Amino acid sequence: MVKNKEKKIYSIPKKLRIIMLVFFFFFLLLIIRLFFLQFVQGADLREKMYNQLITSRVIDPKRGTIYDSTGRALAISAQVDTVSVNPQYIVAKKNGIINEAETTALKEKIAKCFSEIFELNYDETLSKLSSNSYVVTIAKKVEKDKIDKLKKWMEKDKIYSGINIDEDSKRYYPYENLASSLMGFCGDQNQGMEGIELQWNDVLTGTPGKIVTAQDAIQEFIPDNNQTYIPAENGSDITLTIDANVQSIVEKYLKQACIENKCGRGGTAIVMSPSTGDIIAMATYPDYNLNTPFDMPSHISEKEWKKMSADDRKNTLNSLYKNRTISDTYEPGSVFKILTASIALEENLVKDNNSKTYYCKGYQEVAGQKIYCATKSGHGSQTLRDALANSCNPAFIQIGQKIGASIAYRYYDAFGLFDKTGIATAGETNYHPFWKLENVGPMELATMSFGQRFKITPLQMITAACTVANDGILMQPRIVKEIKNTETGAITTLDPVQVRQVISKETADTMMDMLEEVVTDGTGKYAKVKGYSIAGKTGTSEPDPNNKSEGYTASFLGISPTENPEIALLVALYDPKGPKGHHGSTVAAPVAGQILTEILPYLQIPSDSSSASDSGNTSNLPDVTNKTVAEAKKKLEKAGFACSTSAEDTDIVTEQFPVKGTPLMKNAIVKLYTETENTRVSKKVPNLIGKSLSQAKKLLKEKNLNISITGSGSVVSQEPINGTTVEEGTVVKITLSK
C-alpha cells in the first residue's frame, strides 16, 4: 500500500510580513509625496528654486562726456568695477557642517587679499567680512588691473562663494583742476554733485538697464529661457562754450595774481563773447582737483590741514566747490561806471562833448557827508570822457543825481541786475542786495552811481557790460552749445539767446570810444596790449562798513578789439594786500593785460599792428593739429620752428603746445602730441633775473622752454616767476632793461 506524501507548506513569518507591510506603506507614502511634489507643488517649488539662483542686476548707463568748444574731453567715464561680499556665504564646511575655525581662517585669508590688492586697512576689511549684513561693499570704482589680480587669486585658491564683482563706471577729469568750480564733480553713484555735472545730470546720466537671470555659486550665468534683458540707454554728450586753452591761460594768471598780491579771498575771472553771450573761460582761485574733490586742497599746507577740525575742513572744501562768479555777490566799484555813463547818455542827460560840465575838488558833499575821490587833490573841471578816464567819483555822483533813482532802477532791471542771468549751470544766486526803490536817498543814489554799497555777481557785471560791446543788446550767457544723443547720434544745438535791446547802438558806440581812452590815457593803461585796441574800466571797491573783513576788491573789465568787439574780460581780486596795493589800476589791470596778450593771438583776433612781438623776430605759430606728424614737422620747420615728439611720423597730431596763434621766436620748440604719445613733461622755470639775454636763452633751452623778449639789457622781470612748474614748450616772457 502506497502512502500519500504530505506537501510541506512554508509560510512567511509574521514579523517579516509586518516589516514588509510597513515598508510598502512608506513606499506608497513616498510615491504619493513625490506625486504631490511633482504635480501639485511642482510649479511653486520650481519658482522657489529659481528665485534662489536668480540674480537681478541694474546695468548702469555710461555717463555722457563733457567736451570743450574745441572737442577736448573735460569729463569722461571709464569702465571700472565694484567689489562686494555676502558675509554669510563665506564659510568653510566639513561634512556639511560649518567649521568655525576654518571659516575664521578663510575670512582672514580673503581680508589679507583684499587689503593688499585694494590697499585697504586689514582690520577694517576683516570686520566687514565678519559683518551680519547681507551685503557689504569692499571697494568702489576699481580699475581693471586690480580686478584682474583679484580674479587670478580667486581662481588659484578656488574661492568664489560670497565675492561679487559688479560692473560700474568712474568719472575722470583729464585736466584735473581746470575749470573745477564750473565743471563740478560726481558722487559714488555717478550722480552730479556740483556745477555742470549737477545742472545737466539728467541729460548726462541716461537710463539704467536691467538683467534678470540665474547665476551659480561662482557667478557664472546659467542658460535660462526666462532671462530678461533691458539694455541701458547711455547718457548724452554735451559740448561747452569754454575753450580749454583760454581757460588754462586765465587760470594761470589769476592764480599768479592772487599769490603775488596776497589776495585773502582769492579771485575770479570771466572771458565772454559779447555778440553771442558765450562763456569762453570762467575761473576762480583757489580751485581743487576734480578727481580728488575730498582731499586736502593744494593751496593749503599739510600742517594747516591737520590743525583744522572736521567742520573747518568741510567748510573749506564747500567754499572751493562754489562757482563764485555766479554764487557770490560783490561790490563792482568803478567798473559799474560803464553802466552809469551809458544810462546818462541814453537818457540825453549828459553829452560826450568838450563841455567841462563836472567839477571835482577832491570830494563831493552829499547829505552833509564828504565822499572822496581817489585823487584827493581833485581833477578840476572835466567832460564825461575825462571823468571816465580819471574814474572820478565826484563827477559820477553829479551824473547819478541827474539820472535819479527811478530811471537808474529801470535800467538796472533792463541790464538784468535784479534777476539771475539764466546761465545753464548750478549754483547761481538769486540774492541781489539792492535797496528798495523807496529807500534810495541822496547817499544811496550817490554811492551806487560809482558801484558801491550794493552787490551783484561778477557774471551779472560782465553780461551787462557786454551790452555796450554788442550794439546795446543784452545776451543771455551761454555755457552749453550742443547736446549729442549717443544712442542715435542726433545733435541738439542751443542757440544764443538775445534778451533785449537796453541802449541804442549810438550810445554803445560812444561808450566804446570813451572806454578805449580809459586804457590809452586813463587808469587802465596797464592793461594795454601792443598791437590791439582795448577798451576798459578799472574798479576799486572799499570794504563793506558792515563787514570790513572782506577787504578791498580790485577789478578790471576789458573789451577787445574796440571795433567789432570779440572778447570781454573781467578780472576781480578780493582783499589784495600785496606790495602793489589794492587799486584796480595797479593790481587787476596788469593781470588783464597778461591774459589778453595770450588769448587774443590764440583766438586769431586780428592785430592792429603787423608786429607780432616787441622782439621784432617772431611769427605766429600755425595750426598743425589733425595732420600727420610728418606733415606737421614739415610745416613747422618751414615756418622756422623746431619740433619735439616721440610719436611716429604716420600718427595724427591731436594737440600742439604752444597753441596755434602764439607769437614765437624762430627755432622755438613746439611739442606735438598724438593719441598714443600724450605724455606731458613738466619743468621748473629757472631764475632769470639779472641774467643776460644769451644766458637766459641758454637756461630756457636746456629745459625745452621758449622765450619772449621785450627791451634790451639784463633781465629785470620774468613770467612765469622763478620755480613755477610748467609744461615743456611754455613761453617764458622776459623784460630786459639797461
Number of domains present in the structure of the chain: 4
Distance, CA of 351 to CA of 300 (rounded, Å)? 52
Residue that is last in its domain, among 210, 235, 260: 235
Which neighbouring-strand residues pair with 682?
Answer: 727
Closest CA to 255 of 201, 178, 161: 178
**For residue 671, which amino acid is it?**
K
pLDDT in tens, 650-684: 999 999 999 988 888 888 999 999 988 888 898 99
| Contact between residue 241 and residue 232 where contact means Cβ atoms under 8 Å apart | no
Asked if residue 309 is part of any domain, the answer here is: no
pLDDT value at 605 more than 90 = no
Which residue did the predictor score with more confidence, 152 or 1? 152
DSSP helix/strand/coil, 711: strand
Here the CATH number for the domain that contains residue 623 is: 3.30.10.20
Residue that is last in its domain, among 207, 235, 263: 235
Q: Looking at 427-534, which runs of residues are DSSP E strands?
A: 473-475, 480-484, 491-493, 498-501
Residues 40-57, mean pLDDT to the nearest whole number: 60
Minimum mean pLDDT range among 101-110, 173-182, 364-373, 467-476 = 101-110
Which residue did the predictor score with more confidence, 228 or 16? 16
Asked if residue 310 is part of any domain, the answer here is: no
Distance, CA of 632 to CA of 637 (rounded, Å)? 8
Model confidence at 282, pLDDT cuts 50, 70, 90, reads very high
Asked if residue 407 is part of any domain, the answer here is: yes
pLDDT value at 78 more than 90 = no
pLDDT value at 35 more than 50 = yes
Model confidence at 697, pLDDT cuts 50, 70, 90, reads confident
Shared domain for 554 and 635, answered yes or no, is no
DSSP helix/strand/coil, 729: coil
Asked if residue 249 is part of any domain, the answer here is: no
Asked if residue 160 is part of any domain, the answer here is: yes
Percent of the chain at pLDDT exceeding 70 = 90
pLDDT value at 192 more than 90 = yes
Shared domain for 185 and 210, answered yes or no, is yes
Shared domain for 29 and 89, answered yes or no, is no
pLDDT at 538: 97
Cβ-Cβ contacts under 8 Å for 573 (sequence gap 6 or more): 257, 258, 261, 263, 267, 553, 554, 555, 587, 588, 591
Distance, CA of 72 to CA of 64 (rounded, Å)? 14
Distance, CA of 359 to CA of 688 (rounded, Å)? 48
Residues 617-623, mean pLDDT to the nearest whole number: 83
pLDDT in tens, 157-171: 888 888 888 777 789
Average pLDDT over the chain reads 88
Distance, CA of 360 to CA of 524 (rounded, Å)? 20
Shared domain for 389 and 519, answered yes or no, is yes
Asked if residue 320 is part of any domain, the answer here is: no
Distance, CA of 290 to CA of 312 (rounded, Å)? 20
pLDDT at 6: 53
Q: Cis (ω within 30 of 0) for the bond into 286?
A: yes
| Contact between residue 173 and residue 290 where contact means Cβ atoms under 8 Å apart | yes
Shared domain for 184 and 212, answered yes or no, is yes
Shared domain for 626 and 483, answered yes or no, is no
Minimum mean pLDDT range among 35-39, 392-396, 652-656, 710-714 = 35-39
Minimum mean pLDDT range among 94-103, 237-246, 577-586 = 94-103
pLDDT at 199: 97
The two most distant CA atoms of the chain are separated, in Å, by: 175
Report residue 603 as a C-alpha cell.
583766438
pLDDT at 610: 32
**Domain that residue 482 falls in:** 327-539+548-602
Which neighbouring-strand residues pair with 207?
Answer: 233
Shared domain for 638 and 586, answered yes or no, is no
Shared domain for 651 and 590, answered yes or no, is no
pLDDT value at 230 more than 90 = no
pLDDT at 213: 58
Shared domain for 640 and 729, answered yes or no, is yes
Here the CATH number for the domain that contains residue 231 is: 3.90.1310.10
Shared domain for 728 and 585, answered yes or no, is no
Shared domain for 43 and 88, answered yes or no, is no
Shared domain for 595 and 484, answered yes or no, is yes
Closest CA to 464 of 498, 527, 417, 428: 417
pLDDT value at 266 more than 50 = yes
Asked if residue 689 is part of any domain, the answer here is: yes
Which residue did the predictor score with more confidence, 402 or 220? 402
Model confidence at 189, pLDDT cuts 50, 70, 90, reads confident
pLDDT value at 3 more than 60 = no
Report residue 515 as a C-alpha cell.
572806454
CA–CA–CA angle 22, 27, 33 (5° rounding): 125
pLDDT at 212: 60
pLDDT value at 294 more than 70 = yes
pLDDT at 210: 67
Asked if residue 445 is part of any domain, the answer here is: yes
pLDDT in tens, 516-533: 999 988 999 999 998 888
